[in-house]
Amino acid sequence: MHAIEKLQAILVDRFKRRALAHTLVSPRAEAWTLTGYLWAEEGAEGLAVGDALRAEAPPWLRRMLTRQLEDEARHAALLRARLVALGRPARDPSAAAGAVLRAKVRRLERLCARAAPRFERGAIVPLLACAARLEATGARVFARHVEVHAAHGREDDTTRALRALLDDERRHARSCAAALGRLVAPAERPALAALEDEVARVDRALGVSTAAATWVVTTALRLRDAAARSAA
């Protein structure tokens, strides 16, 4: 990782941890954050795995991806149930958040189309590379959230849901990486490494600005909750 990328990663992590601290005292901020996770589970991650499953995949890979899609559906149900328990049922993405997610998906789709001819197995390779990256990102996001809960001594239903999601995301990331290792011929390794770098750049795009916006939104939601408590 280059110096600029390391700095970006540090800034993203700091903004996100400060935003997550707000969720510990603000039901609105907690629900907003969990809703974002839900959009990711049903959006980018689910699409990447679903597209890979629809591509020409060998039977062993189809079985793996089918189980993974079942897990993603379970994750979504878990998040929706938690939102209902918080009194804030899931809603559709806002225009801005939805646009960012759709833009990322479109960029990944274009990348997959360009990269497919580089590999003997075709489209399944770039699709699986995208799935592996998104699952690893999901694991990192959930791990950060669990760490913030632990640092503040928080242990509740949200914590337990996050741990369940984290365990699955880590397993998914390992499974996708191992599957890529089986699919790609030795001569294609350099092309795969280049593809993974491209996928990572797309995944990181707008990372700092998005993290900063997350902190701003959760700060505003925390202030709204504080004002509501004062007025009660």
**pTM, entire model:** 0.89
**Nearest in space to 52 (alpha carbons), one of 138, 9, 112:** 112
Q: For the chain, give the mean pLDDT.
A: 88
pLDDT given at position 50: 67
Cα–Cα distance between 200 and 195 in angstroms, integer? Answer: 9
Instruction: Tell me which CATH code domain 29-224 carries.
Output: 1.20.1260.10
Q: What does the domain layout of the chain look like in residue ranges?
A: 29-224
- Residue 13: pLDDT band with limits 50, 70, 90: very high
Q: What is the residue type of 63?
A: R
Q: What is the pLDDT of residue 49?
A: 64
Q: In sequence order, which residues have a C-beta less than 8 Å from that of residue 100 and are 6 or more positions away?
A: 206, 210
159-203 residue pLDDT tens: 999 999 999 999 999 999 999 999 999 999 999 999 999 999 998
d(CA 151, CA 162): 15
